[in-house]
């Protein structure tokens, strides 16, 4: 048995790698009332584990093996592999485009199941066993609203623009191609255009 190793520390949680597992430990917030803090961490732990379970029935995500609502921990499979944020631009372009199409397909399947990821970036995707694995559903929720699905796509586009600016347009085009596996994709994409337009208007107003 190996020792626990902290591999990431964010505002909401600490990620610990131990053996074949990843333990997500939601951290206490000193600025919140202790009872409110405990209730929030408990509800977020429960919600994330349920979304992971639901997503795991349709796409490749870490499998949850234990949920401790008293310690606010989720234990799941550790997914080794290449973080797509670090590798997408290093692959031959045709391989990168194939990966993007797979990403789009997985987003489409999530949205078909009304799962909103809430933080779609290539930093939350791992290439393992020639498959794209989606990780970190900490901001995820369930919604039937086209607006929420459109915002998910908008976040993905923004992430590509900032992290993969050389090929982001080609990448996003392939993601949208893959996304069309979702039978209501056209409706969401119309809403996506409205979300994009609002973003352009806000940028124009702040110039």
Q: What are the catalytic residues?
A: 119
Phi, psi for residue 135 in degrees, rounded to 5: -125, 175
Spatial distance between the Cα atoms of 188 and 56, rounded to a whole number of angstroms: 23
Phi, psi for residue 28 in degrees, rounded to 5: -70, 140
Query: Partners of 128 in the beta sheet?
Result: 131
5: left (phi over 0), alpha (psi -120 to 50) or beta: beta
Collect all residues with Cβ–Cβ distance below 8 Å to 168 and sequence separation of at least 6: 157, 160, 161
Spatial distance between the Cα atoms of 29 and 35, rounded to a whole number of angstroms: 11
The conformation of residue 12, written as its DSSP 8-state character, comes to S
């Amino acid at each position: 048995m190996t020792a626990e190793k902290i591999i990431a520390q964010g505002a909401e949680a600490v990620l610990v790698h131990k053996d074949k597992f990843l333990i997500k430990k939601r951290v206490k917030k000193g600025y919140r009332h202790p009872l409110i803090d405990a209730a929030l961490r408990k509800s977020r732990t429960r919600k994330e584990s349920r979304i992971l379970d639901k997503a795991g029935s349709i796409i490749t995500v870490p499998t949850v093996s234990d949920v401790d609502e008293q310690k606010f921990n989720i234990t799941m499979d550790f997914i080794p592999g290449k973080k797509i944020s670090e590798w997408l631009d290093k692959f031959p372009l045709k391989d990168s485009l194939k990966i993007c199409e797979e990403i789009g397909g997985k987003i489409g399947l999530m949205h078909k199941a009304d799962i909103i990821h809430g933080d779609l970036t290539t930093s939350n995707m791992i290439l393992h066993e020639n498959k794209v694995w989606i990780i970190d559903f900490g901001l995820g929720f369930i919604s039937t609203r086209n607006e929420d699905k459109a915002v998910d796509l908008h976040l993905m586009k923004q992430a590509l623009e900032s992290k993969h600016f050389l090929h982001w347009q080609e990448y996003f085009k392939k993601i949208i191609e893959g996304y069309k596996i979702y039978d209501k994709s056209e409706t969401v994409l119309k809403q996506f255009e409205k979300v994009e337009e609002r973003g352009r208007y806000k940028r124009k107003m702040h110039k």
